[in-house]
Structure 1
């Protein structure tokens, strides 16, 4: 029996400017074309979700947030990851307070790490990131969604592509 993989992402929301931190992934990652996402990644074995989210945020953007400052805002059950390794559960955290400057700390993986207008999200975007952002920005909604369970939808399809 395959265990369910865990992933996390963090919506960093600057409420004063109406912007969110976004990462522009190069085309050698999950997508065949460069695509936008929010900071995040895999949870390591034995790691708490909030600690993984804070770690990934720092590793990818240079921003620092204490795990206890993160708020769980959404969960997405993904049927098929773009990496071909099966399903995973994505825990979406949000924060409106952090320290540090937004930086592209992984230029080998990311084309850019930028503040983007939350009302006009960049495209193409990973569908899980788009779902997380739009649900969060709309006030939270149900708190749970799925991706790839409708067989007519290609789980690798990008939003806005």
Structure 2
């Protein structure tokens, strides 16, 4: 029997996304400056070290759109294994807020060009591609998907 080889474990950035859905419409924010400027997205951000995904999602909701969500009022909506050309793979987690406090507003005007509610059947063409893919899967009731891998159709 040979000793196991020393293999370094792969680590990924985790993206957390907050879905606010009202009257069958989902809230999207318009990115401004930096990555994906001019594209719509689900309010989101990166998980911080030592932070559970539900708490990171709640934090991002407060920072980006000024709403307070109790982590117990989140429901897992979708997970997506994604990667963009030339970037390391990432793992995205989408939580739906079953309830929230406050009316969403643009809490980061230096990073966001505005907020708008969209029907799942009318997601803008200029949406961050993996967000658009995830929203399509969420609307179809699929809990998981992948995007940007060579095996994607």
Both structures adopt the same fold (TM-score exceeding 0.5): yes
Q: Could you say which TM-score interval applies, normalised by the shorter chain? A: 0.7 to 0.9
Coordinate RMSD, CA, aligned = 2.0
Q: Which structure would you say has the larger Rg?
A: 2
Distance 1:9 1:72 in 2: 10
1:10 aligned to 2:15?
no
Distance 1:104 1:149, change over 3 A: same
- TM-score normalised over the length of structure 1: 0.81
Q: Which runs of 5+ in 1 are unaligned?
A: 154-161
Match of 2:138 in 1: 136
CA–CA distance in 2 between the matches of 1:144 and 1:18?
21
Partner of 1:20: 26
Q: Give me the whole-angstrom Cα distance separating, in 2, the residues matched to 1:112 and 1:36.
A: 9
Shift of 1:93: 0.8
In the alignment, structure 1 residue 48 sits paired with structure 2 residue 52:
yes
Aligned residues: 145
Q: Deviations over 1:52-83 (max 9, x none)?
A: 011111111111111111111211111347xx
Query: 1:22–1:39: 8 Å Cα contact kept in structure 2?
Result: yes
Q: Is the 8 A contact 1:11 1:133 kept in 2?
A: no
1:119: how far off? Answer: 2.8
Q: Distance in 1 between matches of 2:139 and 2:98?
A: 12
Q: Deviation digits for residues 79-126 of structure 1, max 9, x if unmatched?
A: 347xx6511110111123211011000010110022223331123001
Structure 2 gaps of 5+ residues are: 1-7
Match status 1:30 vs 2:30: no
How does the TM-score come out when normalised to structure 2?
0.85
